């Protein structure tokens, strides 16, 4: 009741955050015919830097790869993939406003790693974050945090797409989206390509290639009138770097890819 959200037979799915920060997920009949299901998840986000990841050995098994670099800046990125460490490459990418995606399956540490990248953003930049649960922690003081309502519920009933459109009128240097899930994907890409490079986000995918494929499907759902191959080319141009996280004894980077190749 504190957030004015409703769960009943008409709207049997509820996603929310408790006052103490835990994620609350509820599914009632008829969507859950055996009596309903409730899950409370305590999100543990460690405060780490890229240097901490390096000390843990997170980059020791990281594969580096590149596709077709088109511009001088992209050629420099491709060369850096082979001439520097993953740590140095990522520091260069963030500082020089190269947009990237942190990809991975559930509980692979995507948000924790994204927060480590945020520590590299220069302190003078203006940042706007968009998420449905407050997890991003930019180190910059000039930060605006926007929260969307899951499932179009809550008093405001505001979507990530609406917040993204509003944020473009607030003069951000970079946009940070907690996760790309749907209609906001194409708008996010357009925002990057029209004056907001260096924006960062996460996506659920099991490989760097799958990350691009999943984003392409999201864009196609927006009825943009582009073919799959055209969308993939656009994705690789706008977001040339994918950081792939995997889950093991401890979360680490499986791959850093700079990929502008078609197909």
In this prediction the pTM is 0.76
Same domain for 87 and 106, yes or no, is yes
According to DSSP, the residues that pair with 252 across neighbouring strands are 246
| Of 110 and 66, more confident | 110
Whole-number Å distance between alpha carbons of 89 and 92: 5
Residue 16 within any structural domain of the chain: yes
Predicted confidence (pLDDT) at residue 68 exceeds the cutoff of 70: no
- The answer to whether residues 17 and 119 belong to one domain is no
Q: Which residues pair with 64 in a beta bridge?
A: 256
pLDDT bucket at 263, cuts 50 / 70 / 90: very low
Q: Is residue 238 part of a domain?
A: yes
Residues ≥6 apart with Cβ < 8 Å to 60: none
Instruction: Report pLDDT digits (tens) over 75-132.
Output: 677 777 777 788 888 999 999 999 999 999 988 889 999 999 999 999 999 999 999 8
Q: Which of 106, 43, 47 is nearest to 247 (CA)?
A: 106
* Same structural domain, 145 and 198: yes
SS3 annotation, 199-253: CEEEEECCCHHHHHHHHHHHHHCCCCCCCHHHHHHHHHHHCCEEEEEECCCCCEE
The answer on 50 and 20 residing in a single domain is no
11 found inside a domain: yes
Q: Name the residue with higher pLDDT: 43 or 108.
A: 108
Whether 138 and 30 map to the same domain: the answer is no
- Is the domain of 209 the same as that of 179? yes
Residue 263, in any domain of the structure: no
Per-residue b or e along 110-120, where b marks 16 or more CB atoms closer than 10 Å to that residue's CB? bbbbbbbbbbe
User: Residue 39: what pLDDT?
Assistant: 79
The answer to whether residues 27 and 52 belong to one domain is no
**Is the domain of 108 the same as that of 169?**
yes
* pLDDT for position 71: 58
36 and 121, same domain (yes or no): no
For 179-234, how does the pLDDT look when each residue is reduced to its tens digit (9 = 90+)?
999 889 999 999 999 999 999 999 999 988 999 999 999 999 888 889 999 999 99
| Owning domain of residue 5 | 1-42
Q: Are residues 65 and 163 in the same domain?
A: yes
What is the tally of structural domains in the chain? 2
Secondary structure of the chain in the HEC alphabet?
Answer: CCCCCCCCCCCCEEEEECCCCCEEEEECCCCCCCCCEEEEECCCCCCCCHHHHHHCCCCCCCEEEECCCCCHHHHHHHHHHHHCCHHHHHHHHHHCCCCEEEEECCCCCHHHHHHHHHCCCCCCCCEEEEECCCCCCCCCCCEEEEECCHHHCCCCCCCHHHHHHHHHHHCCCEEEECCCCCCHHHHHHHHHHCCCCCCEEEEECCCHHHHHHHHHHHHHCCCCCCCHHHHHHHHHHHCCEEEEEECCCCCEEEEEEECCCCC
Residues 75 and 101 in one domain: yes
- CATH number for the domain harbouring residue 169: 3.40.50.300
């Amino acid at each position: 009741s504190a957030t004015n959200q409703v769960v009943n037979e008409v709207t049997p799915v509820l996603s929310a955050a408790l006052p103490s920060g835990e994620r609350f997920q509820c599914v009632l009949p008829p969507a859950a015919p055996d009596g309903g299901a409730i899950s409370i998840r305590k999100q543990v986000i460690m405060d780490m830097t890229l240097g901490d990841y390096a000390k843990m050995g997170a980059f020791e098994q990281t594969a580096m790869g590149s596709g077709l670099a088109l511009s001088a800046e992209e050629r420099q990125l491709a060369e850096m993939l082979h001439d520097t460490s993953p740590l140095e490459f990522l520091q260069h990418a963030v500082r020089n406003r190269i947009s990237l995606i942190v990809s991975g399956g559930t509980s692979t540490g995507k948000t924790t790693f994204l927060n480590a990248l945020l520590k590299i953003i220069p302190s003078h930049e203006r940042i706007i974050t968009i998420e449905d649960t407050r997890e991003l922690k930019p180190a910059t003081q000039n930060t605006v945090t926007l929260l969307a309502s899951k499932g179009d519920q809550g008093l405001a009933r505001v979507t990530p797409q609406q917040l993204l459109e509003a944020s473009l009128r607030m003069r951000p240097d970079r946009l940070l989206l907690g996760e790309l899930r749907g209609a906001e994907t194409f708008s996010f890409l357009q925002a990057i390509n029209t004056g907001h490079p260096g924006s960062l986000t996460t996506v659920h995918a099991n490989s760097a290639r799958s990350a691009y494929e999943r984003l392409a499907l999201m864009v196609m759902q927006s009825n943009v009138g582009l073919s799959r191959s055209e969308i993939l080319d656009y994705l690789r141009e706008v977001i040339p770097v994918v950081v792939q996280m995997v889950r093991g004894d401890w979360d680490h980077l499986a791959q850093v890819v700079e990929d502008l190749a078609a197909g």
